[in-house]
Amino acid sequence: MRQVVKHQLRRFCAKAEQAGYGSNYYENLISGAITRNHYEAFNNRSDAELGSLGRLYLYQYHVCPYSGKVRTFLDYYQIPYTLIEVQPLSKTGLPDRRAFFHKKQVPVLMCNPATANLWGKAKVLYDSNKIIATLLSHFVAMGKVLPGDYERATTPLVQAWGEWIDEKLIPHLFAAVSHHEDEQVRFFEYLGEFPKFLKAGLGKTVLPYTCVGVFQNQILQIREAHGIRDGEEFEKLKDVLSEWHEITEESFHGGAMPDLADIMCYGALKNFKRCTFFKTILADAGIKEWYDATEFIMPPESSCVTHF
């Protein structure tokens, strides 16, 4: 194991030097942000302040579609935020639960005013829908979100689609990932992009396969709850996505422009972009045109200012 870790670290350092960065830098392949390996959370905080909220820290797993919903919401409204990648097995990286009584799950959003000492007056939100709803009400008061957008986002119809995304779409997407072990390993390969996980002794070889084992146990519960048998994963997912296609065949759910339902659905789907079935299932379900149109409307760059 020690030899594997040393080999991975040598490869990382060589790649960093070729890219023109020192050994404590690497180019993050997920968001395109240049990230310091030994980043201290209080540095450069004034560069990404947001009114009285201060700086926003989003604790996530990159493959978590619930986290993807929040990221896409922040990107759509061009709200600056910092991503903190959490180790999915140990949950290392989450805020101290002795100070903040959040669930040991992602996403978690921490808001910290710039004038406070580190985490001195920080507030924590969890549950993707609660995070988005809370930020939305705050942003409309700040003028970041138009009152009309806020009214549409809080309608019962949009809330119903939010429940559909969480309770139906996302479980079927996970089931589709589980159809083959190679797909599952590919799903967790992003973990190798973070040197901080290598330092824990879990690199590109070990950590993804370990996560696959945990993932397989969780998938059994999802399959049973939704009646998904082996070989039915893609057909079931196609049926679910067809429900969304019926609503968005001729326009966004929001009409001429995306509304919150469009943003959340796009954010959840985008997390599975690395999967081999992704493009095919979008086309088969008839939602590729909607997906591409939403992607075109999104800002060209993420509003993530730091990712570590």
**Ranges assigned E (strand) in the chain:** 25-27, 34-36, 55-60, 81-85, 108-112, 123-126, 304-307
Please answer whether residues 77 and 144 qualify as being in contact, where contact means their C-beta atoms are separated by less than 8 angstroms: yes
71 within a domain of the structure (yes/no):
no
Mean pLDDT in residue range 157-165: 97
Q: Which residue has the higher pLDDT, 235 or 95?
A: 235
86 within a domain of the structure (yes/no):
no
Please answer whether residues 58 and 74 qualify as being in contact, where contact means their C-beta atoms are separated by less than 8 angstroms: yes
Please answer whether residues 207 and 198 qualify as being in contact, where contact means their C-beta atoms are separated by less than 8 angstroms: no
Model pLDDT, residue 141: 87
283 within a domain of the structure (yes/no):
yes
Task: Give dist(CA 25, CA 34) in Å, integer.
Answer: 7
Residue 280 has pLDDT above 90, yes or no: yes
Task: Give dist(CA 292, CA 298) in Å, integer.
Answer: 10
What is the average pLDDT score of the chain? Answer: 82
Query: What number of CA atoms fall less than 13 Å from residue 183's CA on the CB side?
Result: 15
22 within a domain of the structure (yes/no):
no
pTM for this structure? Answer: 0.84
Residue 6 has pLDDT above 50, yes or no: no
Model pLDDT, residue 182: 93
Instruction: DSSP for 105-125, please give it.
Output: SS-EEEEE-TTSSTTTT-EEE
CB atoms within 10 A of CB 205: 15
Confidence bin at 190 (pLDDT 50/70/90): confident
Percentage of the chain surpassing pLDDT 70?
Answer: 77
Mean pLDDT in residue range 178-198: 87
Tokens found for residue 305: 């200012």
Structural domain total, the chain: 1
Distant-in-sequence, close-in-space partners of 61: CB < 8 Å, separation ≥ 6: 67, 85, 86, 88, 106
Residue 223 has pLDDT above 80, yes or no: yes
What is the tens place of the pLDDT at every residue in 244-263?
Answer: 999 999 999 999 999 999 99
Please answer whether residues 162 and 136 qualify as being in contact, where contact means their C-beta atoms are separated by less than 8 angstroms: no
35 within a domain of the structure (yes/no):
no
Spell out the alpha helix ranges (H) of 41-187: 65-76, 128-142, 147-153, 156-164, 170-177, 181-187
Please answer whether residues 86 and 64 qualify as being in contact, where contact means their C-beta atoms are separated by less than 8 angstroms: no
Highest mean pLDDT among 3-12, 158-167, 180-189, 195-204: 158-167
Please answer whether residues 42 and 306 qualify as being in contact, where contact means their C-beta atoms are separated by less than 8 angstroms: no
Model pLDDT, residue 207: 82
Model pLDDT, residue 121: 67
Mean pLDDT in residue range 89-105: 69
Confidence bin at 109 (pLDDT 50/70/90): very high
210 within a domain of the structure (yes/no):
yes
191 within a domain of the structure (yes/no):
yes
**In which domain, by residue range, is 219 found?**
153-297
Of 71, 66, 93, 92, the residue nearest 82 (C-alpha): 71
Of 118, 109, 123, 223, the residue nearest 176 (C-alpha): 223
Model pLDDT, residue 95: 75
Say which range, 129-143, 198-212, 234-248, 268-282, has the weakest mean pLDDT: 198-212
Task: Give dist(CA 263, CA 204) in Å, integer.
Answer: 32
Distant-in-sequence, close-in-space partners of 199: CB < 8 Å, separation ≥ 6: none
Confidence bin at 46 (pLDDT 50/70/90): very low
Task: Give dist(CA 222, CA 166) in Å, integer.
Answer: 12
First to last CA, the chain: 24
Residue 281 has pLDDT above 90, yes or no: yes
What is the tens place of the pLDDT at every residue in 125-141?
Answer: 889 999 999 999 999 98
265 within a domain of the structure (yes/no):
yes
CATH number at residue 161: 1.20.1050.10
Distant-in-sequence, close-in-space partners of 207: CB < 8 Å, separation ≥ 6: 89, 188, 191, 192, 197
Model pLDDT, residue 200: 56
